Structure 1
Amino acid sequence: MKTIAHQALGATVAETDSRRNSPATPGSRSATARTSLGLLALLVVLGLIWFATLGTRSLVSPDEGRYASLALEMARSGDWVTPRLNGLLYFEKPVLQYWIGALAFLGFGVSEFTARLWPGVAGFLTLLAVGFTAGRLWGREAGIRALAVAASMTWIIGNSHFLTLDTGLTLFLTLALSAVLLAHASPEPRSRRRWIWLAWAAMAGAVLTKGLVGIVIPGAVLVVVSLWRRDMGLWRGMHWASGLAIFFALAAPWFVLVSMRNPSFAEFFFIHEHFARYLTQVHQREGAWWYYVPLLLGGMLPWTGGLPWLFRKDPAAQEDGARIKTRDILLVWCAFIFLFFSASGSKLPSYILPMFPALALLVAAQLRNTAASTLRWHLLLPALAWVLLLALAIDPARFASVSTPVEVLQPLADAARLGAVIFLAGAAIAWWCLGRRKVTAAVLAVALAHLVASSMVMQAHNTYGQLKSAAPLAAALQPHITPETPVFAVRTYDQTLPFYLGRNVVLVDYEDEFALGQRVEPQRWIKNLDEFAATWQSLPQAAAYMTKPTWLELQQRGLPMRTVFEDQRRVVVLKK
């Protein structure tokens, strides 16, 4: 069977090569040019929509402020080895994203756009990787569909437009996955070797972005697929000697340097931030076993209805005995990521993001064999989801509270209603296209409608996001302080505060993720409220940020304070 399959594959490749080498007619050249221009136009439109809103929202706490501040401090200090958050040692994550963020700030200035530039670029490159991979495996039409499916998945859109580490991790893991798939499908040894080398380099990027998970996920999938299919072809084709040399040459130098400069790094990073985070609930981010189920269902919209397709046998796949198929690798990739993070003692919503590009490839593969009439009915699920959102957005006052007034919810509700109308219009166009068996046009209509509608809702999030951003309080404080005025964060800390103030703040009676840095450099913080009160009284000028309960407690102590900013959750004061 294998011999027959390989002969068939060779015949197909030879036929393709002969078509490429045969003289092109004017008509075929014209059609190719039109197709290329159409694809270029699609990418331009997608890029404009994708990057348009990156800088139009304030950064929100905690993740966006944390990673923006880490990159900004690296850019300003010139120390490219030891990360610092608010002036304190910070070893929870590797350094690659801080490097990229720092270079963006140095090259393009400090702004919300440059802070989010790398997640935006990483997300966009992930889409291109998905489209390119599907195109090489199944043809240009499948590539366009895969690109559109990935570009419109809610979880990919959302995470690519907020500053976290997971979009960069997803890019590198997707490159590793795609490279292995393309190597496995390539009949030419030199081509296979180059793709595998790219996979090793991508895994190094993943490790430098978020640690050992960047090698654990691809490694585990390799083992599981090989054992499941009882085929060691993938394993033997990894070019271990040259691949490991590439991996360590790229990934190891920073780990060696930071360990040499900071003796506390290795134990904290590898033990506390990997094994303790995964095996225990020390980070207090636990969740039920089904924690990721709703995130998967909602994050896959508008393609959630395609989940049952993923387990359907692909009639177009080669029947070649034990030979591992692309579908096998993609299914194991998705299942392992979902189960691995579901079993973790520390859960965050964005952890399962690396499975979504693989889901997009699976959906695109199954679209090749699904009737247009069947696809019509799959439009009903995302349409129903947007109709439900439309109904919820009619009266935002029902979701208001003392800490979240209706005024900040109203723009979100307005955007949700308009977004629902846009998506339903796109779904109607897709329904019409499917009636004429124009599947690719229908996929593009759904994808662009969902992307535009989701982007509008994210943009409207800014009014609500102000409650979790230091942008308004920093704007109120800046006219009243000088570069020499100390600013204190008392019993609380907004991760965006150093970014918007353009300086570090002094922590008071607050540890959390700063515990290591405070232990190594205790002079950089104030341990309790009594010490803070004495320091405050001794200073000629000072400012402080705190919650309302702390503000009331300090008032009772008689500290001289003048309020310059106050909202439902926070107070900023100056020394009188």
Structure 2
Amino acid sequence: MQFYHRIHYPHWLTDFTLLTLALSVFYFIWSGSYPLFVPDEGRYSEVAREMLVMHDYITPRLNGIVFLDKPILYYWLQAIAMKLFGINEWALRFWPILFGIIGCWITYFTGYILFNRRTAIVSALILATSPLYFGAAHYANLDLEVAVLISSSLSCFIMATRLTKPRQRQVCFFLSCIFAGLAVLTKGLIGLVFPITIIGSWIVLSGQWRILKNLPLIRGILLFTTITLPWYLLAQQANPEFFHFFFVTQQVTRFLSAADFNNKTAFWFYFPIVFAGFLPWSAFVIQAIVNSVTKLCKTPRAHLVELFLLLWLCIIFTFFSIPHSKTVGYILPIFPALALLTGHFLDQYWDNVSCKRIRYGIGLAMGLLLCSAILLPILSQVYASLIPPGFKHYLYEFAGIALATCLSLYITQRYNATLIAKFTCLTISSILLLSLLTFSAASLNDNTVKPLALKLKLILQPNDEIITYYKYYQDLPLYLEKRIVITADWKASDIANNDNWVRELWYGMYFRNSLASTKWLINEDEFWQRWNQKKRIFVLLNKNYLEDFQRKAQQNRYYLIDTRGNVMLFSNQS
């Protein structure tokens, strides 16, 4: 604690500057060194690219087809990044990374105001070095952005309740409304449902009704409405089918349905996800939660902040555990709350290294690291066929870092070192492991068609046509910087029952603004008609369709241009 007091005022400005510099290097380094992962990175980035090409900033499109599965904010941001930095991986991951850093900023300020400076620093570092949070910040989809916006809305509200100056309190409340509005513009209703449910539950359970009298509720509602309403109304005006499709099909049905969406998992799905995604800090999570619950039960009026964080954690966790359809990134909004609870717990025992709870946590972390160091080399041999060849040697490097960290922690335990030494050891280890993961990410991506797209781009002529055969390679249009023609059975009776790329495009085919673009979606008969014409055509298909393609081609000539993994590139002309 004395270490922090030696830094001169203003503390927060020094911390903010150092945190920003460190996270900028840690998060941005190598972020553009690996191709886009599909489907999400390719899909959402292509929507933004088409927005720039079409100059239509109200109706998002995917390969010319209206794509209103998600609201507009993310596409606006991606379009800005492309306009400023060009179409490249670094630009496409700029906003997710920036949001990741913003989330750490907000966590720092929340910890500073709710608890103290040390809790703020520790919590921000815990969040920044959590694998799932870090990975989401390096993955260009909407999950991290909406998580940060929802978390920021909740953080600003609880900060507003702790500030005594009316102007500061109002600013925090308005920021809470702004973040909630931006969350609704990013992912829809959950941007409003979570803040209202968590804040409302906290007010009811704590009896803090007087807080509502001290907040400018009417102006906050007007601010929220001003942010969210215009685009939704303009989108409905341009696409009369929008409200029913977005709110009923995508928002409500996806939550309640047990049959129509992918990723069907058990209720307990998020328990291992959170444990693994919060490592190594998950070694302290149970102790932190138990510590907060215990204090809350003993003196509830003195620990209303802990009540808010626990409600934040439990309500979101339960909400996403109920539906059958789950994806890993959905649970991200609880990570700032976990970081604050864990950071506050460590701060309480910062000078008491002999505490059993801390020693148990360090022991668990050592056990997990040792198991990782032993199992990773073994798994690289046992599951050699499932691991990309270029990634195998990195597993030994991961194991080496894990073993070195385990030994370092043992030494700190053996000589009864301070908690700051143990915390520093775990933080540096996490930074090294996550940096190595970013550096090695290119060798993990076997599904990209970037090499084929770049080769194709060099030989394409203006009149050439690119068609995919029963597969939509979602990064292909982005790397080609042009739309492609997609072959599939668009009249199949079971399309609505399969949550895949066919249904995504099929939904949008019948929007009014898609009718002129359905020429990009063809059936197999039309494919063979085009293939037999004099016009040069390039087709991409998976190897599992090769036999079918060859059989149906019969006497028609086809020429292999190149292959990449399971993807083959053919042309009807040599």
- The answer to whether residue 79 in structure 2 is matched with residue 99 in structure 1 is no
> More deviation in 437-446 or 175-184?
437-446
Q: Is the 8 A contact 2:463 2:535 kept in 1?
A: no
Which among 263, 266, 269 is matched to residue 246 of structure 2? 269
> CA 1:437/1:214 → structure 2, altered by over 3 Å: closer, same or farther?
same
* Alpha-carbon displacement from aligned partner over 1:134-171 (angstroms, at most 9, x marks no partner): 12222222211111111111111111111110111111
Distance in 1, matches of 2:280 and 2:320, equals 23
Distance in 2, matches of 1:263 and 1:413, equals 51
> CA 1:355/1:193 → structure 2, altered by over 3 Å: closer, same or farther?
same
Q: Tell me the residue number matched to 2:497.
A: none
- The answer to whether residue 286 in structure 2 is matched with residue 303 in structure 1 is no
Q: Is the 8 A contact 1:151 1:451 kept in 2?
A: no
Structure 2 spans left out of the alignment, 5+ residues = 490-501
**Residue 380 of structure 1, CA deviation:** 3.3
**Residue 376 of structure 1, CA deviation:** 4.2
> More deviation in 251-260 or 511-520?
511-520
Which among 246, 249, 267 is matched to residue 289 of structure 1? 267
Q: Is the 8 A contact 1:485 1:543 kept in 2?
A: yes
Distance in 2, matches of 1:207 and 1:306, equals 33
**Residue 316 of structure 1, CA deviation:** 8.3
- The answer to whether residue 563 in structure 2 is matched with residue 566 in structure 1 is yes
* Alpha-carbon displacement from aligned partner over 1:343-381 (angstroms, at most 9, x marks no partner): 023211100001001100001111122232343442333
Q: Tell me the residue number matched to 2:494.
A: none
Q: Tell me the residue number matched to 1:556.
A: 551
Distance in 1, matches of 2:330 and 2:212, equals 26
Distance in 2, matches of 1:551 and 1:388, equals 43
SS where residue 225 of structure 1 aligns?
Answer: helix
Which among 319, 329, 337 is matched to residue 358 of structure 1? 337
Distance in 2, matches of 1:524 and 1:390, equals 54
- The answer to whether residue 513 in structure 2 is matched with residue 516 in structure 1 is no
> Structure 2: which amino acid aligns with 1:537?
N
Q: Tell me the residue number matched to 1:23.
A: none
Distance in 2, matches of 1:420 and 1:428, equals 12
> Structure 2: which amino acid aligns with 1:457?
L
> Structure 2: which amino acid aligns with 1:549?
N
Q: Is the 8 A contact 1:545 1:571 kept in 2?
A: yes
SS where residue 338 of structure 1 aligns?
Answer: helix
Q: Is the 8 A contact 2:16 2:105 kept in 1?
A: no
* Alpha-carbon displacement from aligned partner over 1:20-79 (angstroms, at most 9, x marks no partner): xxxxxxxx8875589976774454233211110210111011111111111111122221
> CA 1:379/1:146 → structure 2, altered by over 3 Å: closer, same or farther?
same
SS where residue 487 of structure 1 aligns?
Answer: strand
Which among 328, 339, 364 is matched to residue 381 of structure 1? 364
> Structure 2: which amino acid aligns with 1:125?
I
* Alpha-carbon displacement from aligned partner over 1:184-213 (angstroms, at most 9, x marks no partner): 111223322221111001000100111101
SS where residue 267 of structure 2 aligns?
Answer: coil
Q: Is the 8 A contact 2:118 2:347 kept in 1?
A: no
* Alpha-carbon displacement from aligned partner over 1:209-264 (angstroms, at most 9, x marks no partner): 11101011111112222333344345555532111100000111111111111111
TM-score (norm 2): 0.88
Q: Tell me the residue number matched to 1:186.
A: 163
- The answer to whether residue 449 in structure 2 is matched with residue 470 in structure 1 is yes
> CA 1:42/1:99 → structure 2, altered by over 3 Å: closer, same or farther?
closer
> CA 1:337/1:483 → structure 2, altered by over 3 Å: closer, same or farther?
farther
> CA 1:31/1:423 → structure 2, altered by over 3 Å: closer, same or farther?
farther
Distance in 2, matches of 1:247 and 1:122, equals 20
> CA 1:432/1:36 → structure 2, altered by over 3 Å: closer, same or farther?
farther
Distance in 2, matches of 1:317 and 1:229, equals 11
> More deviation in 180-189 or 202-211?
180-189
**Residue 487 of structure 1, CA deviation:** 0.7
> More deviation in 104-113 or 557-566?
557-566
> Structure 2: which amino acid aligns with 1:372?
V
Q: Tell me the residue number matched to 1:419.
A: 398
- The answer to whether residue 433 in structure 2 is matched with residue 453 in structure 1 is yes
> Structure 2: which amino acid aligns with 1:306?
F
Q: Tell me the residue number matched to 1:348.
A: 327
> Structure 1: which amino acid aligns with 2:331?
I
Distance in 2, matches of 1:568 and 1:203, equals 43
Q: Tell me the residue number matched to 2:38.
A: 61
Structure 1 spans left out of the alignment, 5+ residues = 1-27
- The answer to whether residue 382 in structure 2 is matched with residue 398 in structure 1 is yes
Q: Is the 8 A contact 1:477 1:565 kept in 2?
A: no
Q: Is the 8 A contact 2:541 2:568 kept in 1?
A: yes
Distance in 2, matches of 1:357 and 1:307, equals 12
SS where residue 512 of structure 1 aligns?
Answer: helix
Distance in 2, matches of 1:213 and 1:35, equals 31
> CA 1:173/1:575 → structure 2, altered by over 3 Å: closer, same or farther?
same
Q: Tell me the residue number matched to 1:544.
A: 539
CA RMSD of aligned residues (A): 2.6
Q: Tell me the residue number matched to 1:133.
A: 110
Q: Tell me the residue number matched to 1:3.
A: none
> CA 1:30/1:152 → structure 2, altered by over 3 Å: closer, same or farther?
closer
**Where does 1:62-211 land on structure 2 (aligned, <5 Å)?**
62-211=39-188
TM-score (norm 1): 0.88
Distance in 2, matches of 1:524 and 1:275, equals 31
Q: Is the 8 A contact 2:20 2:101 kept in 1?
A: no
Distance in 1, matches of 2:297 and 2:372, equals 42
> More deviation in 106-115 or 230-239?
230-239
How many residue pairs align between the two structures?
Answer: 544
Q: Is the 8 A contact 2:453 2:476 kept in 1?
A: yes
Distance in 2, matches of 1:33 and 1:278, equals 46
Q: Tell me the residue number matched to 1:525.
A: 520
Q: Is the 8 A contact 1:278 1:344 kept in 2?
A: yes
SS where residue 468 of structure 1 aligns?
Answer: coil
Percent same amino acid among aligned pairs?
Answer: 26
Distance in 2, matches of 1:45 and 1:191, equals 28
Q: Is the 8 A contact 2:370 2:402 kept in 1?
A: no
Q: Is the 8 A contact 2:129 2:431 kept in 1?
A: yes
